[in-house]
């Protein structure tokens, strides 16, 4: 083999290896961000759910709570509960959004952990909307 043939072969191998490395990083980045797209789709779907009864409203509230919690975990919030994670990520939300989220979380906890407490369907629907709307707003601006 001539020197230039060896040089072309080495250059080709370097290019192939470089493309492999670049492809690995690009696909890892898209996988890393795909949770945001998947979450966004699930949030939009949850927003469209029609609620005709209090049990349905409670089920959708629990789903909205879980989706919002997924957002907090996805952006790196520390804590063992949604309340702790929300408190640790306070700076990422407006004061108004943060207060609404805390109230929605409090209401969800009452519904789940204190079923004998009277909570109206209107309150449950509002809490659901808070979780879903703020999560969608956050994802749109990231």
Q: Which residues have C-beta within 8 Å of that of residue 101, sequence separation ≥ 6?
A: 68, 86, 93, 130, 131, 134
User: Residue 93 CB: number of other CB atoms within 10 A?
Assistant: 17
Six-digit token pair at 63?
């789903």
DSSP 113-130: H-TTS---HHHHHHHHHH
Q: Which residues have C-beta within 8 Å of that of residue 79, sequence separation ≥ 6?
A: 85, 86, 87, 88
Q: In the prediction, which pLDDT does 27 show?
A: 45
What b/e sequence results for 1-21 when a residue is b if at least 16 CB atoms lie within 10 Å of its CB, and e otherwise?
eeeeeeeeeeeeeeeeeeeee
Indicate the domain borders of the chain: 34-140
Six-digit token pair at 115?
């079923």
Predicted confidence pLDDT, tens digits, the chain (142 residues)? 666 565 555 555 455 454 555 654 544 445 557 899 999 999 999 999 988 999 999 999 999 999 999 999 999 999 999 999 999 999 999 999 999 999 999 999 999 999 999 999 999 999 999 999 999 999 988 7
Six-digit token pair at 53?
């009864």
Q: In the prediction, which pLDDT does 28 show?
A: 47
Q: In the prediction, which pLDDT does 141 show?
A: 84
């Amino acid at each position: 083999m001539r020197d230039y043939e060896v040089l072309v072969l080495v250059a080709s191998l370097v290019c192939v290896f470089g493309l492999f490395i670049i492809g690995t990083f690009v696909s890892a980045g898209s996988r890393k961000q795909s949770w945001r797209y998947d979450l966004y789709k699930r949030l939009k779907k949850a927003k469209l759910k029609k609620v005709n009864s209090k049990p349905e409203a409670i089920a959708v509230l629990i789903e909205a709570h879980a989706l919002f919690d997924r957002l907090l975990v996805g952006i790196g919030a520390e804590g063992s509960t949604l309340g702790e994670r929300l408190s640790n990520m306070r700076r990422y939300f407006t004061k108004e959004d943060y207060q609404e989220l805390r109230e929605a979380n409090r209401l969800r906890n009452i519904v789940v952990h204190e079923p004998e407490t009277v909570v109206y369907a209107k309150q449950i629907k509002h809490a659901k909307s808070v979780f879903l709307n703020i999560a969608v707003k956050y994802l749109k601006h990231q």
